Each structure stands twice: as structure tokens, then as C-alpha cells.
């Protein structure tokens, strides 16, 4: 009922409302689970008004007799029902810039610390009895307050007046990000204000700024939405997750908060589960590459590697592969750090290094589960690589990722971490490298041409454009006037055949492997990009920027 009951009993005794005999008598007849203070009020030794008045005096707050308080309809817009019920509070009004709140337990310091983050920084507290606050809640919010169970809310694209100002602000920020299909939301404290940026189609866009005074309230609201972050911890990084529904779609957000010189900075990565249904063609594979890759990922054993820098869509490609080969007669287990999406019919294990659940430990354990197919989020060290190779050589199909610039470089990367060349040659079946480029908006792209600089950069001749469909970015409401909508992959598929195995065993250099792979028909990332430019899917500028490291 009250956070500091022993202290309150002392104060009630000092004020003459209680004595030792009263307390001892109550304790002798006290029911299990019932506090002494509750028993005293229930038996009429003291009234709840007397207790609340004593609490108010000792907390330095003004006691409010809510029996004579007549709430007006506008009050419910100040605090949402779920916040009122969770923190056992009710709104009284406003006083200039301060929101006036009535609270039953001023010694609940966790609540007092949380409320400025949930509502707004400037609050004025008053004290009353728990029963009178419940009555006021019922008068303001109706039957839902009486039942104590607010209706579940979805992010359905609307924000009501029941939501408090900071809640409305954060909710609007999230909804706009979802509407615009942003992949990340950045809340960044600057010297004089707060900057909100969305990453859309791989590009950060400045969308709005807010006064610096709202910073702690916004960050606090986000922390509360995760349900796991500490409100009062502002010195160390924190990670969490927000789950919600928006327009009947399940949305997950991975939340990262780090302290900066101007305050805590937040990045929320939006994990849209609808992307799990993407096929290889949706990712940007042209028909010939799609057919080749589908054949490779249905092999009975071996390792399939997907390479590229952070943010190049490797995980999405792996999930598309798993969805393609997922059948009831196959057991698929993944090891991820963290598990970003939950896949139906697939066993997923999350790495927890603090308890010894490393990639290697999880991989060792999962092999005892008799899987047909294994996915490793990343091969990071020799131990993990060795177990993955052993699994592939004993009849398992293994998918994983590496951070390399191109496909042939993955061979050197495995050798660098200590894998023997003959094991690489024996286990690896194919390596796919990829980059992401923006797709032209299908509603507004227009016929265009290429500059001499672009032709030279892509190694094209003017004559090659005769039958091409060169398109340029224009801009419309569908693409937010940017000319691009969505992204697609540029892919480079390096298949390991007998000749390449011999070259790996001979420890030939990456340039030599790359040269021979191209002679055998491998298209580079830039060459795949050229095909997509000539097909009118993207622009030369996008491909040139994404494939700057392509030496050929």
C-alpha cells in the first residue's frame, strides 16, 4: 500500500493518532498478506484520510480532499489511462507549464523518478488517499478504470487525446517511421535541440527537431516502452526491444542507447516481419543468378557463405534461403546474435556469451539435435569455423556470413583465422557477395541517359546502350520526391568447382582466384549492377557508389 510503512507508523504515533497498544493489538489479529497499516485502516483505528494527511506532511506535499473535486472532461487528455493505472495517479490540471498530479504514495521514489520521463519534465505533485484517487480515475476514464484493465492499443495510425504529450510525440515519431518504411530511427541530442532522423532506403533523412528540454522525457518514454531498460542509468549503454502492432502488422524494434556529450542518443532498428516473406527475386536476383543460387542452397551438404559489409542485407538473404528450403521433413536450427526475426518452423538459438553460450558452444550443442540444415549468424573465429566445417563434412548444409569485400576474399579470410586450405576447399560450396542499391521508383522514373564519366566508370560503350532501358530518378509523392523506393541487391556468386578447389589447395592469392573465377563465368558486383542499370532498375550513380571497391 505504502512504500515505507514502518516510517509512517512512527509518524502516526508521533502525531498521537496511534500508540504501541493499537499496533500490537492489530498485529495479533492480522490476516496473512495484510499489512499493518491496511489492518489499522480497515478496523477504523485510523482513517485513510489521516494516513494520507500524515504522508503529505512528511513528504512536503499538499493534501487534496478529492471529495470536493469536480473534474472537467479535458483532464483525461493530460494522462493516458494505462499510465494512470500503472502509477496509481490522476491529473488535477495544469499550472503554467507544470502538469499537476495527485499521487497516493510520495515515498515510491521509483515512480517519482519515472513520471517526468513518461509525461513531461515539469510536474507538480499533490497527495490524497488511494480510494479517492481510484474514484477520480473512474470519473475520468469510466469502466476501464474501475476494472483496472485498459484496452490493448495498437499503433493503428491514430493518436488520441487520451495520450499524454510526450507519449503522443514518441508515438507519432514511430508511426511516421513505419509509414515511410524507415529501417532505423535516430534520436540524437545536439547542443541546443534534439534531432530526429530516419534511415530510408539506406539514406539518413533529417525529419524533425524538438526542444532540448524534452530530451529526458523522450528517452525515458522509449526506455519504458522496452520494459527492460533502467530509467536512472545514463552513464552506460543499454539495449532493449520494443514490440507493437501497426495496421495489423507485427513490428519489432531493436533499441540501442548510448551516452554522448550532449546526453543519451537512441537508435531504433525497425524489424518488419513482412520482409521474411521475400524471395530471392524480391531481393534483386535476376533470373539466371536466382536459378544458380537456388540450385546451390538445395545441395545436401557443404557451406554456403554470404559476404558483405554491415548493412548489406546478408541476414535478409540468409532468411530468404531458409524460407525457400524450409519443409516439414527438414530440421533447421539457427544460431544468431541476436535473433532478429522469429521464423515459423525453425529452431532459433540466441548467443549469450555472459553465460557461456557462444557461437561455438551453441553449434556444438545443436549438432546433437540432428539437424539437416544449420545457419550461423557469423563465422568469427577458428573454433566456430572448425565446427561448421566438420558439420558440413558430415552431411549438414551450413549457412553463414563473413565480412569481406568480395566473394573470392572469403577464402583468404577463412585462412587468416586459421582454417587449413584443404578444409576450405572440401567444405565450401559457394560464396555470395552482395551490396544494396536503391531501386528507382516505379511510379515516376523517366527515360534518361548516362554521362561520359558514368560510362567510363561502368566500362560501357555508347553502342551498348542501343537496346538498353536507361532510367533516371524523378520524384513523386509515393517516393517522398526522392526518385527511389526500396532497395535491391547487387550479387556476385563464386561457385567452388574442382578447378577452384585445386587453386585453394595450392594457396593461390585472392587476385588469382578472382581472375580464374571470372574466366569461369563469375559476374562481379559492378557487372551485376551494370545489368540492372541497363534494365532500368537503378541508376549508374547508385551502382558506382556501391561498388567503389570493385577493382575490375
- What is the pLDDT, as a whole number, of residue 499? 92
The Cα–Cα gap between 300 and 503 comes to: 24
The Cα–Cα gap between 130 and 133 comes to: 5
* Torsion, Cα of 104, 107, 108, 113 (10° steps): 110
The length of the chain, given as a count of residues: 552
The Cα–Cα gap between 472 and 537 comes to: 9
The Cα–Cα gap between 486 and 54 comes to: 62
The residue ranges of the chain whose pLDDT is under 50 are: 150-153, 157, 161-163, 551
Is the distance from CB of 252 to CB of 237 less than 8 angstroms?
no
- What is the pLDDT, as a whole number, of residue 152? 44
- What is the pLDDT, as a whole number, of residue 164? 63
- What is the pLDDT, as a whole number, of residue 276? 63
Radius of gyration of the chain (CA): 31
Q: Exposed (0-12), middle (13-18) or buried (19+): which is 261, by Cβ within 10 Å? A: exposed
- What is the pLDDT, as a whole number, of residue 161? 47
Instruction: Give the number of other CB atoms < 10 A from CB of residue 225.
Output: 22
Is the distance from CB of 450 to CB of 540 less than 8 angstroms?
yes
- Say which residue the cell 563465368 belongs to: 521
Which segments of 442-494 does DSSP mark as H helices, in order?
Answer: 452-458
- What is the pLDDT, as a whole number, of residue 277? 65
Please choose, from the candidates 254, 257, 235, 229, the residue with its C-alpha nearest in 3D space to the C-alpha of residue 243.
Answer: 254
- What is the pLDDT, as a whole number, of residue 274? 65
C-alpha cell at 273: 516481419
- What is the pLDDT, as a whole number, of residue 156? 52
Is the distance from CB of 375 to CB of 334 less than 8 angstroms?
yes
Q: 6-54, pLDDT tens digit by residue?
A: 777 777 777 777 777 777 777 776 677 677 777 777 777 888 888 888 8
The Cα–Cα gap between 249 and 272 comes to: 8
User: How far are the Cα atoms of 121, 189, 379, 530 from residue 261, in angstroms, in the given order?
Assistant: 20, 9, 35, 44
Is the distance from CB of 515 to CB of 499 less than 8 angstroms?
no
The answer for residues whose C-beta is within 8 angstroms of residue 60's C-beta and 6 or more apart is none
- What is the pLDDT, as a whole number, of residue 144? 59
| Per-residue H/E/C for 115-169 | HHHHCCCCEEEEECCHHHHHHHHHHHHCHHHHHCCCCCCCECCCCCCCCCHHHHH
Q: Exposed (0-12), middle (13-18) or buried (19+): which is 30, by Cβ within 10 Å? A: middle
Q: 376-430, pLDDT tens digit by residue?
A: 989 989 999 999 999 999 999 999 999 999 999 999 999 999 999 999 999 999 9
The Cα–Cα gap between 244 and 51 comes to: 40
- Say which residue the cell 550532449 belongs to: 262
Amino acid at each position: 500500500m505504502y512504500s515505507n510503512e514502518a516510517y509512517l507508523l512512527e509518524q502516526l504515533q508521533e502525531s498521537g493518532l496511534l500508540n504501541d497498544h493499537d499496533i500490537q493489538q492489530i498485529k495479533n489479529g492480522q490476516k496473512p498478506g495484510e499489512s499493518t497499516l491496511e489492518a489499522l485502516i480497515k478496523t477504523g483505528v485510523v482513517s485513510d484520510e489521516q494516513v494520507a494527511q500524515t504522508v503529505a506532511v512528511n513528504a512536503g506535499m499538499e493534501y487534496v480532499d478529492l471529495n470536493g473535486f469536480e473534474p472537467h472532461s479535458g483532464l483525461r487528455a493530460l494522462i493516458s489511462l494505462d499510465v494512470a493505472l500503472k502509477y496509481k495517479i490522476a491529473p488535477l490540471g495544469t499550472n503554467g507549464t507544470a502538469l499537476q498530479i495527485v499521487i497516493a504514495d510520495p515515498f515510491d521514489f521509483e515512480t517519482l523518478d519515472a513520471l517526468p520521463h513518461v509525461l513531461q519534465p515539469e510536474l507538480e505533485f499533490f497527495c490524497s488517499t488511494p480510494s479517492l484517487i481510484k474514484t477520480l480515475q473512474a470519473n475520468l476514464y469510466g469502466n476501464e478504470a474501475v476494472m483496472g484493465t485498459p484496452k490493448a492499443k495498437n499503433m493503428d495510425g491514430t493518436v488520441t487525446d487520451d495520450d499524454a504529450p510526450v507519449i503522443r510525440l514518441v508515438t507519432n515519431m514511430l508511426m511516421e517511421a513505419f509509414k515511410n518504411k524507415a529501417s532505423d530511427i535516430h534520436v540524437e541530442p545536439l547542443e541546443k535541440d534534439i534531432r530526429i532522423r530516419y534511415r530510408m532506403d539506406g539514406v539518413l533523412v533529417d525529419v524533425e527537431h524538438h526542444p532540448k528540454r524534452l530530451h529526458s522525457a523522450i528517452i525515458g518514454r522509449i526506455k519504458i516502452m522496452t520494459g527492460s531498460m533502467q530509467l536512472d542509468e545514463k552513464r552506460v549503454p543499454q539495449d532493449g526491444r520494443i514490440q507493437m502492432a501497426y495496421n495489423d502488422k507485427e513490428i519489432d524494434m531493436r533499441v540501442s542507447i548510448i551516452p554522448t556529450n550532449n546526453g543519451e542518443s537512441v537508435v531504433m532498428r525497425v524489424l518488419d516481419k513482412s520482409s521474411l516473406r521475400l524471395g530471392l527475386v524480391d531481393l534483386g536476383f535476376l533470373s539466371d543468378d536466382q536459378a544458380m543460387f537456388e540450385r546451390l542452397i538445395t545441395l545436401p551438404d557443404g557451406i554456403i557463405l554470404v559476404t558483405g559489409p554491415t548493412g548489406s542485407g546478408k541476414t535478409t538473404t540468409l532468411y530468404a534461403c531458409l524460407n525457400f528450403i524450409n519443409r516439414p521433413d527438414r530440421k533447421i536450427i539457427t544460431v544468431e546474435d541476436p535473433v532478429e526475426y522469429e521464423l515459423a518452423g525453425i529452431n532459433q538459438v540466441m548467443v549469450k556469451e555472459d553465460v557461456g553460450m557462444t557461437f561455438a558452444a551453441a553449434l556444438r550443442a545443436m549438432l546433437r539435435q540432428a539437424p539437416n540444415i544449420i545457419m550461423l549468424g557469423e563465422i568469427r573465429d577458428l573454433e566456430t569455423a572448425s565446427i561448421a566445417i566438420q558439420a558440413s563434412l558430415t552431411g549438414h548444409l551450413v549457412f553463414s556470413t563473413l565480412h569481406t569485400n568480395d566473394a573470392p576474399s572469403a577464402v583468404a579470410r577463412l585462412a587468416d583465422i586459421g582454417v587449413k586450405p584443404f578444409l576450405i576447399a572440401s567444405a565450401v560450396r559457394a560464396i555470395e557477395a552482395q551490396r544494396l542499391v536503391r531501386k528507382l521508383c516505379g511510379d515516376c522514373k523517366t527515360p534518361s541517359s548516362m554521362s561520359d564519366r558514368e560510362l567510363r566508370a561502368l566500362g560501357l560503350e555508347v553502342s551498348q546502350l542501343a537496346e538498353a532501358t536507361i532510367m533516371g530518378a524523378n520524384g513523386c509523392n509515393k517516393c517522398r520526391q526522392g526518385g527511389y523506393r526500396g532497395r535491391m541487391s547487387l550479387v556476385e556468386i563464386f561457385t567452388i568447382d574442382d578447378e577452384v578447389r585445386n587453386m585453394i589447395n595450392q594457396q593461390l592469392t585472392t587476385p588469382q582466384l578472382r581472375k580464374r573465377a571470372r574466366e569461369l563465368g563469375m559476374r562481379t558486383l559492378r557487372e551485376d549492377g551494370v545489368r540492372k542499370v541497363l534494365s532500368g532498375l537503378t541508376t549508374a550513380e547508385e551502382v558506382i557508389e556501391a561498388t567503389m571497391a570493385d577493382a575490375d
